[in-house]
Amino acid sequence: MSILIKGGTVVGPTGASPADVLIDGETIVALFAPGQAPEGPEVIDATGKYVIPGAIDAHTHMQMPFGGTQASDTFDTGTKAAAIGGTTTIIDFAIQKYGEVVQDGLAAWHGKTADQCHIDYGFHMILGGVDDDSLKAMDQLVATEGITSFKLFMAYPGVFYSDDGQILRAMQKARDNGAMIMMHAENGPAIDVLVKQALERGETDPKFHGLTRPQELEAEATSRAIWLASVAADCPLYIVHLSASKALEQVRNARDLGRNVFAETCPQYLYLTLEDQLGAPGFEGAKWVCSTPLRSGEESHRADLWQGLRTNDLSVVSTDHCPFCMKDQKEMGIGDFSKIPNGIGSVEHRVDLLYQGVVDGKLSLARWVETIATTPARMFGMYPKKGIIAPGSDADIVLYDPNGRTRISVETHHMNMDYSAWEGWEIDGKVDTVLSRGEVISRNGEYTGRPGRGKYVPRGLSDYLL
Ligand code: URP
Ligand code: ZN
Ligand code: ZN
Ligand code: ZN
């Protein structure tokens, strides 16, 4: 089965140019100057469209057990929504809880994904408890399981928290076996003090979730993680869901010294604020409770994050997709913001939301593709199989219509959430056609994929390091 995507503008990390893309089976076999491709294959007309690599969301939590409940998207519903929105690969997180065996956690996540995913997927491993056994397991996961990145938490004491000694040991191990350490950088013990004090003062509304997680505690943890990685002989470090100017400053300083320090941000931090969303009247703000929290719109966070994307101090945009419904889930925190399950769902809309940055003149076309597809593939060892339109790469391709329009709403989204964090937002641009390994799975809003067609992607080491 060969397909020719004809008449479009192919966009990659180095720029955009008119080209026709020939696919054979699941693989891209050639790019041709317009009009030079052989006759014969089935043609998909891409006139007026951008032809971009299928996007990669390197940070999702489908059906994650968390906050006394479970994220509301399953691997089935969440990967279908992702696909419709132009994302053709996710990297989710398998979890080792404290006291459990790492390999058992991984097996459990393979069980959850088997026959469920609509698109290809990989796993990072969350280490809930660093000890001799889990350190040994890190070597095995890197060597034989295709898992080359490990997430640690400086937040959530009693849940996923690791202390500095544990973090250092895991970093030393990663330095030896080539893996990446991903860090949830917030000072959890200090946050817990502020939360307790706020609740004692009767401050129970959702906005206090943000006010008890000040940016200083994100910056301090980011800085500490960077220094610990330095002590671990420059272990590669990737700061997840970076939200604040002062935290970005720590990353920028390290990068200016040539360190293997990287960071991602998420659409919610680029657009939404503590005042306008988290501070919405009554309990409404619970919709936007996530950690790290939304930051003040009166400070320069959003502008600084866009700038960080341009300078590559922020290398990746992921969603941290971790949806909870208002009914029965977010509602667990009525009268106590600390009981609101933490997370926002955006896996369906990241491609569009970041394209809006191109429309607004904040990102170049090439940088759009790089931050949502190419760099996540390189950062996490899937390149050039994923993240680029080139001969030999998987035919994961999105036709993006810059003249289309997207209106985001709970009425039309495919995520299993009873609200949208972006309700009523209108975006210039639209995902038109989505191919995953050569199969058209979504076209003009009509979905033709199926659960179970997505394959596990064993990952190699990062090729993004200095
Ligand atoms: O609020 C968030 N981010 N929930 C998901 C878990 C995490 O820390 O990434
Ligand atoms: Zn986190
Ligand atoms: Zn710099
Ligand atoms: Zn997360």
143: pLDDT confidence band, cut at 50, 70 and 90? Answer: very high
Cα–Cα nearest to 365, from 21, 49, 33: 49
Select from 291, 295, 344 the residue to mutate for testing ligand 1; criterion: most ligand atoms less than 8 Å from CB: 291
Please say if the pLDDT value at position 377 is more than 90. Answer: yes
What pTM, to 2 d.p., does this model score? 0.98
Q: Is the ipTM of this complex over 0.90?
A: yes
pLDDT of 459 reads: 98
Environment class of residue 405 by beta-carbon count within 10 Å: exposed (0-12), middle (13-18) or buried (19+)? Answer: exposed
Q: What residue owns the CA closest to ligand 1's atom 8?
A: 291
Q: Measured from the CA of 289, which atom of ligand 1 is nearest?
A: 1
* Mean pLDDT to the nearest integer, 318-333: 98
Tell me the CA distances in angstroms from 345 to 223, 342, 360, 413, one per residue in order: 28, 11, 23, 11
CB atoms near residue 39 (< 10 Å): 6
Q: What pLDDT sits at residue 1?
A: 78
Q: Is residue 427's pLDDT more than 90? A: yes
Q: What is the pLDDT of residue 87?
A: 99
CA of 384 to the centre of ligand 2 (A): 27
Cα 397 from Cα 380, distance rounded (Å): 19
Dist. CA 29 → ligand 2 center (Å)? 38
Q: What is the CA radius of gyration of the chain?
A: 21
Cβ < 6 A, ligand 1 pocket: 61, 184, 241, 290-291, 320, 322, 342-343
Out of 57, 60, 61, mutate this one to test ligand 1's pocket (max ligand atoms within 8 Å of CB): namely 61
Give the percent of the chain with pLDDT over 70. Answer: 100
Q: Is residue 290 classed exposed, middle or buried when 0-12, 13-18 and 19+ CB atoms within 10 A define those classes?
A: buried
Three-point CA angle 146, 147, 148, nearest 5°? 110
Instruction: Tell me the average pLDDT across 345-352.
Output: 98
* Domains in the chain: boundaries: 54-379
Q: What was the pLDDT predicted at 385?
A: 98
Residue 123 has pLDDT above 90, yes or no: yes
Ligand number, closest to the Cα atom of 323: 1
- Phi-psi region at 99: left, alpha or beta (left = phi > 0; alpha = psi -120 to 50): left
Of the pLDDT bands very low, low, confident and very high (cuts 50, 70, 90), residue 445 is confident
Amino acid at 445: G
What is the distance in A from the centroid of ligand 4 to the CA of 20?
37
Q: Give the pLDDT confidence of 246-304 residue by residue, as tens digits.
A: 999 999 999 999 999 999 999 999 999 999 999 999 999 999 999 999 999 999 999 99
- Distance (Å, rounded) from C-alpha 142 to C-alpha 422? 37
144 Cβ contact list (under 8 Å, min separation 6): none
- Please tell me the predicted confidence (pLDDT) of residue 331: 98
pLDDT band, residue 194 (cuts 50/70/90): very high
The closest-lying atom of ligand 1 relative to the alpha carbon of residue 291 is 1
Q: How many A from CA of 290 to the centre of ligand 1?
A: 6
pLDDT of 26 strictly over 90: yes
Give the percent of the chain with pLDDT over 90: 99
CATH of domain 54-379: 3.20.20.140
Report pLDDT digits (tens) over 85-95.
Answer: 999 999 999 99
The average pLDDT across 434-457 equals: 97
Closest ligand to residue 322's CA: 1
